[in-house]
Chains A and B, each alone.
Chain A
Amino acid sequence: MTSPKLDMDRLIDDRRTRIIVCCGSGGVGKTTAAAAIGLRAAERGREVCVLTVDPARRLAQSMGLNSLDNTPRLVEGVHDETGGSLHAMMLDMKRTFDEIVEAHSDPARAAQILANPFYQSLSSSFAGTQEYMAMEKLGQLRRSDEWDLIVVDTPPSRSALDFLDAPDRLGRFLDGRLIRVLTAPVKAGRPFGRMLNAGFSMMTGALTRLLGAQVLRDAQTFVSAFDTMFGGFRERADATYRLLQAPGTAFLVVAAPEPDALREASYFVERLDEERMPLAGLILNRVHAVGSHWLSSARSLAAAETLEGMIQNESGSSAPAAGYSVTAAALRLHAERMSLGERERRVAGAFTSAYPAVPVVEVPALPVDVHDLEGLRQIGESLADR
Chain B
Amino acid sequence: MTARDTDWDGVRLHVVTGKGGTGKTTVAAALALALAHRGRKVLLVEVEGRQGIARLFDRPPLPYEERKIAIGPGEADDGRDPGGDVYALAIDPEGALFDYLHMFYGMRTAGVALSRLGMVDFATTIAPGLSDVLLTGKATEAARRRVRGSGGGGYVYDAVVLDAPPTGRIGRFLNVTTEVSGLAKVGPIRAHADTVANVIKSPQTAVHFVSTLEEMPVQETLDGIAELRAIPGMQVGGVVINMAQPAVLTAEELKAAPDLPAMSAALAAAGLHRTDELAAELADEIADQARHVELQDTERTELEAAGQPVYELPMIPEGIDLAALHRLAAELRAQGAA
Which A residues touch B215, using CB under 8 A?
58, 368-369
Given A327-B263, A368-B215, A202 contacting B272 (CB threshold 8 A): no
Interface centre among A28, A121, A176, A219 (most CB of B within 10 A): A121
Stretch in A90-98, A302-310, A354-362 touching the partner: A302-310
- B interface residues, how many (CB within 8 angstroms): 73
Which A residues touch B125, using CB under 8 A?
121-122, 126, 173
Closest to A344 in B: B317
| B21-A26 in contact (CB<8A) | yes
Closest to B111 in A: A206
Closest to B128 in A: A125
B21 CB contact (under 8 Å) in A158, A176, A256: A256
Closest to A26 in B: B20
Which B residues touch A25, using CB under 8 A?
20
A210 CB contact (under 8 Å) in B123, B214, B315: B123
Which A residues touch B250, using CB under 8 A?
329
C-alpha spacing A327/B281, complex, angstroms: 12
| A203-B110 in contact (CB<8A) | yes
Interface centre among B256, B259, B274, B278 (most CB of A within 10 A): B278
Given A156-B20, A331-B282, A259 contacting B319 (CB threshold 8 A): yes
B123 CB contact (under 8 Å) in A179, A211, A326, A327: A211
- Residue A193 at the chain B interface, CB threshold 8 Å: no
Closest to A307 in B: B270
- Residue A185 at the chain B interface, CB threshold 8 Å: no
C-alpha spacing A199/B286, complex, angstroms: 71
C-alpha spacing A182/B127, complex, angstroms: 15
| A330-B249 in contact (CB<8A) | yes
Summarize A's interface: helix, strand, loop or mixed.
helix
Closest to A327 in B: B266
Interface centre among B48, B105, B121, B166 (most CB of A within 10 A): B121
A340 CB contact (under 8 Å) in B110, B263, B317: B317
- A interface residues, how many (CB within 8 angstroms): 72
Which A residues touch B121, using CB under 8 A?
173
Which A residues touch B130, using CB under 8 A?
210-211
B317 CB contact (under 8 Å) in A57, A203, A327, A336: A336
- Residue B323 at the chain A interface, CB threshold 8 Å: no
Which B residues touch A339, using CB under 8 A?
317-318
C-alpha spacing A169/B315, complex, angstroms: 39
Which B residues touch A293, using CB under 8 A?
281
Which A residues touch B216, using CB under 8 A?
56, 369
B246 CB contact (under 8 Å) in A199, A218, A259, A336: A336
- Residue B291 at the chain A interface, CB threshold 8 Å: yes
- Residue A323 at the chain B interface, CB threshold 8 Å: yes
C-alpha spacing A202/B253, complex, angstroms: 73
Which B residues touch A333, using CB under 8 A?
248-249, 282, 285-286, 289
B184 CB contact (under 8 Å) in A179, A206, A212, A306: A212
Of the A-B pairs whose beta carbons lie under 8 Å apart in the complex, a sample of 6, sorted by A's number, is A27-B21, A122-B126, A203-B113, A324-B266, A333-B282, A336-B317
- List 7 A-B pairs, minimum CB-CB distance, nearest first: A27-B21, A323-B262, A27-B20, A327-B266, A125-B128, A26-B20, A303-B270
